[in-house]
A and B are shown apart, each in its own frame.
Chain A
Amino acid sequence: MTSLSLKRLAVLALPMAALTTIATAAQAQEWTPSKSIEFVAPANPGGGWDTLVRTVSRVIQQEGLADKNFAAINVPGGGGAVAWAQIARDSGNPHKLFATSPPMILVPLAGASRYDHTDFTPVARINTDYSIILVAADSEYQDVNDLFTALKENPRLSVGGGSAPGSMDHISIAGLASAAGLDASAVNYIPFSGGGDAMTNLMGGHIEAVITGAGESVGQLGEGSQLRALGVSSEERLGGALAEVPTYQEQGIDYSFDIWRGVMGAPDMPEEAVAYYEELFAEMLETDAWRQASDQLGWIDAYQDSEEFGAFLDEQQEQFSSVLSDLGLLRQ
């Protein structure tokens, strides 16, 4: 229902939009948004996509980078597939953007979405985040190797994640398992409706560990926390609140996993609109407010413009489909 409310917001904004259109008609060559931009997080609030959407919206508003408001919308379900199906219907709409990351490639490869990245318009890659493994604060596992030793003995040991089987969290832990010498399909992966949901279940002791985005976990770590991090998938240690968390490589497992994040738009978005957003996001990355938020969330800037980002996505698709077929999860 959250998604729908924003449509209503858009309608309310229409009369105002009409006024501004008249005002800016003089400088018509350069495209600017004529109403609120719907910025969709294809998941529940509290997740990685959600954090990106809300942070970008906030920074743009705070720094006054755009004339129009960026309105964050959550459209959860199907590991993103529900939102993509909705957005795919909105061909040519220049006021509709969505946050994207590896699931944009993985979910279609697993045969769980009718639409893949080629159906949408790449706008820009923004940054990258990493996977993190969490256990309860009082857990017996002290590092990643403890967890995998236990997994070897008890293959039923449950590891929760915030997305569907065969999507990002699952691939991340399966890849790690195979790098650690286990069978990739040995992990009993339990899909929850989001990273927040998975972490609640970890706090309650219903599952043994959680794999989720490092950025998503920051709010739940630190002093007085009920959760503890075992390892992070970056090549080097992250900063800020996650400075204490060792990498997998430090723990003797040669494996890293990037959760790149970017922005895509509705199918066939007009070129002028793409150019507008490219510039807007590049500008946003230079602001202090963005710097501060990224530091807090453990994000690392990794900007690419629309063309580079599109090529990058094609590469990722090739890479992931070979990983997935190793795991026997490739369905396309």
Chain B
Amino acid sequence: MDALNNLMYGFGIALEPMNIAYVFAGVFAGTIIGMLPGLGPISALALMIPITFAMEPSSGLILMAGVYYGAIFGGSTSSILLNAPGVAGTVATSFDGYPMAKQGKAGKALAIAAYSSFVGGTVSVIFLMLVAPLLSKVAVSFGPAEYFALMVLGLTAVVSLSDKSLVKGLIAAVVGVMISIVGIDMQTGTERFTFNSINLLDGIDFLVVALGIFALAEVFYMLLRGGGGKEAPRNAIGSLKLTRSEVGQIAGPVSRSSVLGFFTGVLPGAGATIGSFLGYSMEKRIAKDGDTFGKGNIKGVAAPEAANNAACTGSFVPLLTLGVPGSGTTAVLLGALLVMGVTPGPMMLEQRPDVFWGVVASMYIGNIFLLVLNLPLIPLIAKILDLPKPLLLSLILIFCMIGVYGMSFSVFDLLLLLGFGLLGLGMRLFGFPAAPLILALILGNIMEESMRRALQISGGDWMTFVDKPISLSLLLIALLSLGLPLLKKRRKKAAVAE
């Protein structure tokens, strides 16, 4: 088998002592970076370009790729423990991870996150190895119309993410879209919602909103309720061990989300964040106990964690086979490769097989390192929850502020963070769900740009969204996923009536 030969060749490169050291250094640094909100993989990689400049291209990419997937792996930790997502891709993990931690099952949540990340990462490396060259076709098959349809499908998750009141969920989603279009419009150069403030020209960074609405709002909420917060059991990290039935429960979600996440990652412009949301909402809809999602369901941790790691690996497909970066992080990787004198693209597999196969092989090794590295760390890191509440709350506050300030060096962003914290608090007090807002914030801008581009190509003909098979299928799935829950509800009502 060809792939096997190539893989052996790749392992030959990845197992060179120096490269093993690079994988280890990469995933270790990545884990730490991922845990700290604000210090994302993009900034870490940009910092490393001068270091990798003089390296062998394969070693350089092995190191940098390790940082990237290591960060996504480690990003779940602060999502689960503090409700403060370390990287954008792990926002969805906090939906069920944080409730689990509050119930004294932090250890279990972290362990599930680690196992799921490992499976997601490994499954997608296998895909990357077997079908990467073929998938370059999939990556380019998505034009503006298809992206619009995909974003619509993603947005239907608003329904399943707004538990009690659909109206409140939709209101939150609309606010999310509005936040996403703040800044200079790429299509025309027009300023929107900037209120003539130069600080808003670049738009509002996703993490400012996420940290405000989740972490800061949580701090405010606890303060409002007297700061004592006696409901959280002390010393309750809980066991790391999963029972056989728990493993059975997450096996399905993890494997489905791994595949889904990988394909989301392959599309330039989608990536880990969208992948994790799609995985989460898919599982919530499929699950029989979908109602308990958001309240500490282990599947709600497993699905987004498998998906975001799989998507991270998937995003290497357009990067390495087309020379097109699919996300901010892979864009920095592309830049680094160019600096090292390697031009990723259709010819790379033939011209630089050492880089491609070396990196693929190193990903197997890296994922094992991550698992071995993270599991023993869990009890240590989870001890942070043992801190007295006043200390813990101040710590979260400082964490968020350093994260945001470190990203932009702008005091204005700190005020924004505070504003979004208050918005999040208000939303909680009045029963508005935060997840739809975040989802709409991620998808809104891409959806709008894709729609306008598609219409311009079609000369204003809306049929373009229905004429293209991929776009049509995605829209039909979206329609289906909107219709099914309603049908389910009606059937339930009918059953109750009988």
Contact = CB atoms under 8 A, between A and B. Distances in A.
Contacts of A71: 50
Nearest to B407: A4
A4 to B, nearest CB: 5
A9 B45 CA distance: 11
Contacts, number: 156
B225 to A, nearest CB: 35
A179 B385 CA distance: 70
B335 interface: yes
Nearest to A218: B343
Interface stretch (A121-129, A222-230, A254-262, A273-281): A222-230
Given A86-B202, A164-B189, A190-B456, A204 B47 contact: no
A112 B189 contact: yes
B5 interface: no
A6 interface: yes
Interface size grouping (class) on chain B: 35 or more
B143 interface: yes
Contacts of B145: 206
Contacts of B184: 77-78, 81-82
A50 B459 CA distance: 32
Interface stretch (A16-24, A26-34, A192-200, A308-316): A192-200
A46 B449 CA distance: 20
B304 interface: no
Given A164-B186, A190-B453, A46 B325 contact: yes
Contacts of B47: 5, 8-9, 12
B345 A46 contact: no
A205 B334 CA distance: 24
Contact of A204 (B53, B142, B334): B142
Given A46-B334, A69-B50, A190-B453, A220 B202 contact: no
Contacts of B406: 8
B338 interface: yes
Contacts of A78: 184-186, 189, 201
Contact of A191 (B186, B347, B350): B186
Interface size grouping (class) on chain A: 35 or more
A4 B141 CA distance: 33
Contacts of A45: 325, 331-332, 334-335
A54 B338 contact: yes
Given A190-B457, A206-B143, A1 B205 contact: yes
Interface of A: 1-2, 4-9, 11-12, 44-46, 50, 54, 57-58, 61, 69, 71-75, 77-79, 81-82, 85-86, 89, 107, 110-113, 156, 158, 164-165, 188, 190-193, 196-197, 199-201, 203-207, 219-220, 222-226
Nearest to B45: A5
B42 A5 contact: yes
A165 B186 CA distance: 10
Contacts of A61: 50, 53
Interface in B161-193: 183-190
Interface string B149-165: 00000000000000000
A96 B318 CA distance: 32
Nearest to B142: A204
Given A1-B43, A222-B347, A72 B53 contact: no
- Residue among B46, B346, B449 facing the most chain A CB atoms (10 A cut-off): B46
Given A45-B335, A77-B184, A188-B456, A5 B189 contact: no
Nearest to A167: B189
Contact of A77 (B139, B186, B346, B407): B186
